Amino acid sequence: MQTRSKLYLALLFACFVSYCWVFYSMKSDNLDNEAASVCIIKNVTGAPCPSCGSTRSLIMLLDGSPKEAFMLNPLGFLAAWVMFFIPCWIFFDVIMGKETLVNVYKWAIRFLKKPPIAIGFGLLVAANWIWNIAKGL
């Protein structure tokens, strides 16, 4: 299969799973229940991983409280952006018969592989992780 179709199918599948998960989380009302966590790191060590709390943050964002969402986990914003824009972008590419998303993806990978950028990204993730542990998510 071509890179384009493979990437788009993977992204659409990931978005679909994310929508199902957010919908389930909104309906289940047991977000603070430890047993509901799917994170292996949290379940094994008891400490949150860098992205723990993203779902709760996303739901807070949908409820209209961006400040609380940011304080819980800034990655919720990234998740919201990806879940909203990526399917639209794929739809645009498929309709227009272009490969803009593939090209941006390839560029982003090359960009992230540069040592200063990679170190910066790693430090940001580490800082978010420490913040998550301090908050006791």
Partner 1 sequence: MESSKVDMYIMANAKYFPSVQINMIRERLIQLDDSKWAVVQSVPLKDPTTTLIISLLAGGLGIDRFFLGDVGLGIAKLLTCGGMGIWTIVDWFSIQKATREKNLEKLQPFLY
Tokens coding 115? 């040592």
Of the candidates 75, 108, 103, 109, the residue with the CA atom closest to the CA atom of residue 89: 103
Contact region with partner 1 (CB under 8 A), list: 24-32, 47-55, 56-64, 92-100: 47-55
* 52: contact with partner 1 by CB under 8 A: yes
Helices (DSSP H) in 63-99: which residue ranges?
A: 66-72, 75-96
Of the candidates 5, 26, 46, 62, the residue with the CA atom closest to the CA atom of residue 132: 46
Of the candidates 107, 54, 108, 106, the residue with the CA atom closest to the CA atom of residue 81: 54
* 39: contact with partner 1 by CB under 8 A: yes
Rounded to 5 degrees, what angle do the CA atoms 14, 19, 25 make? 125
* 76: contact with partner 1 by CB under 8 A: no
Contact region with partner 1 (CB under 8 A), list: 22-30, 58-66, 96-104, 106-114: 106-114
Name the residue nearer to partner 1 (CB basis): 50 or 95. 50
* 54: contact with partner 1 by CB under 8 A: yes
- Who's near 100: CB < 8 A, 6+ residues apart? 89, 92, 93
Among 9, 17, 36, 119, binds partner 1 (CB under 8 A): 17
Among 1, 35, 109, 134, binds partner 1 (CB under 8 A): 109
Name the residue nearer to partner 1 (CB basis): 40 or 88. 40
Q: Which residues bind partner 1 (CB under 8 A)?
A: 14, 17-18, 21, 38-43, 49-52, 54, 75, 78-79, 105, 108-109, 112-113, 125
